[in-house]
């Protein structure tokens, strides 16, 4: 679809209820009505992340394609990698609607979806026919009413792992009650060891990532870094959505749920830089939160990220933003004399500490 048509479509979608608009956007994707330039790549952009070869470091964050229904079109939209999900063992409807709110003035979103998804069996069936050549991962979640939430993550990996390039443990969503309690050192260590043991039993090794919240204190971040090192986590994703409402003026600011988008940028980037310091750069980091431009992506990389992910900015800028960010990032690396993303990683970390 030409870029002008995409912009017109976005203007129409923004007049609709946000969740309805997203559903229509997914249908348009499946019909091929979206930009499809293919993943942009260059010598500067090609990235090695936890054993994965990415054409570029600009990924799609979990939550956009929860049920893995549009992986083919998304693989052609310019992303270097795609994360579907979150998937839980059993299907679940999530929280009551409305549960998604645009904060247009702040270029932000509040959601309280609550891991609504079709369940691991349906999602695995779709992953089994995933597009060839694309780097596809899955965000692992837990059912709200599970008697063993910690075990749910391993169950989803065991069922879907054969079709994945990476898997992300998501204990940082604020929309499932007490889920974030699993970020504590002892609980997190036990959960991750179970997931790693399951991964090691797969026919093919799948890198395991851990996604963390932006609302953690320094001691909690230090514990997470220590656990990640101890159990052999392949990468950390910083960060999920925030419960903070600092500085917001939108009429939706009091809605319950996780805040994403531009207001999250500084908070999530500070967490990213601190994790880079705590790990000594020894664990790859993926920067998420508030990225809406090539400059934002570049700032995440220089703060310590080996790759980045987008979601909320696509609500306002459309899928055309993906190639725009990748091209702009390539230019910024060239301008500053970096041969690749790895050379730039962490070079401005101290500015965020």
Report the 10 Å Cβ neighbour count for 329: 27
- Are 188 and 182 in contact by the 8 Å Cβ rule? The answer is yes
DSSP characters over 10-51: HHHHTTS-HHHHHHHHHHHHHTT-S--------TTT-EEETT
Of the residues 146, 172, 173, 250, only one is catalytic, namely 173
Tell me how far CA of residue 49 lies from CA of 58, 160, 176, 184, 234, in angstroms.
12, 21, 29, 26, 9
Q: How many CA atoms lie within 13 A of 43 on its CB side?
A: 4
Pick from 193, 194, 171, 195: nearest CA to 183: 171
Distance of CA 234 to the CA centre of its chain: 15
Q: Which helix (DSSP H) or strand (DSSP E) does residue 212 occupy?
A: strand 208-212
Terminal Cα-to-Cα distance of the chain (whole angstroms):
42
- Is 173 catalytic? The answer is yes
- Give the burial class of 192: count Cβ atoms within 10 A of its Cβ; 0-12 exposed, 13-18 middle, 19 or more buried: buried
Pick from 39, 40, 47: nearest CA to 341: 47
DSSP characters over 259-307: EEEGGGHHHHHHHHHHHHHHHTT-S-EEEESS--SHHHHHHHHHHT-SE
Report the 10 Å Cβ neighbour count for 247: 8
- Are 100 and 252 in contact by the 8 Å Cβ rule? The answer is no
Q: List CB contacts of 252: < 8 A, sequence separation 6 or more.
A: 101, 102, 103, 110
> Catalytic site residues?
173
């Amino acid at each position: 679809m030409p870029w002008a048509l995409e912009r017109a479509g976005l203007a129409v979608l923004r007049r609709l209820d946000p969740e309805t608009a997203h559903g229509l956007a997914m249908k348009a994707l499946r019909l091929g009505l979206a930009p499809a330039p293919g993943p942009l790549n260059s010598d500067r952009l090609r990235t090695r992340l936890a054993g994965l070869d990415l054409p570029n470091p600009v990924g799609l964050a979990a939550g956009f394609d929860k049920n893995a229904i549009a992986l083919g079109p998304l693989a052609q939209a310019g992303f270097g990698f795609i994360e579907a999900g979150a998937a839980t063992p059993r299907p679940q409807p999530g929280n009551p609607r409305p549960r998604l709110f645009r904060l247009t003035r702040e270029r932000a979103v509040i959601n309280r979806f609550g891991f609504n998804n079709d369940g691991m069996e349906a999602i695995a069936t779709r992953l089994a026919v995933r597009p060839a050549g694309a780097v596809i991962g899955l965000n692992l979640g837990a059912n709200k009413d599970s008697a063993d939430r910690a075990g749910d993550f391993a169950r989803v990996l065991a069922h879907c792992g054969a079709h994945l390039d990476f898997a992300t443990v998501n204990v940082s969503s604020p929309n499932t009650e007490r889920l974030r309690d699993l970020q504590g050192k002892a609980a997190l260590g036990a959960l991750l060891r179970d997931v790693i043991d399951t991964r090691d039993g797969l026919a093919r090794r799948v890198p395991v990532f851990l996604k963390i919240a932006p609302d953690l204190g320094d001691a909690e971040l230090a514990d997470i870094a220590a656990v990640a090192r101890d159990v052999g986590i392949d990468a950390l994703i910083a960060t999920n959505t925030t419960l903070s409402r600092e500085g917001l003026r939108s009429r939706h600011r009091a809605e319950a749920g996780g805040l994403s988008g531009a207001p999250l940028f500084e908070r999530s980037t500070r967490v990213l830089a601190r994790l880079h310091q705590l790990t000594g750069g020894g664990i790859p980091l993926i920067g998420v939160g508030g990225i809406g431009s090539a400059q934002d992506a570049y700032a995440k990389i220089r703060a310590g990220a080996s790759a980045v992910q987008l979601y909320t900015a696509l609500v306002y800028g459309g899928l055309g933003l993906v190639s725009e960010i990748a091209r702009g990032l390539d230019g910024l690396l060239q301008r500053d004399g970096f041969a690749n993303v790895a050379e730039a990683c962490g070079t401005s970390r101290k500015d965020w500490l």
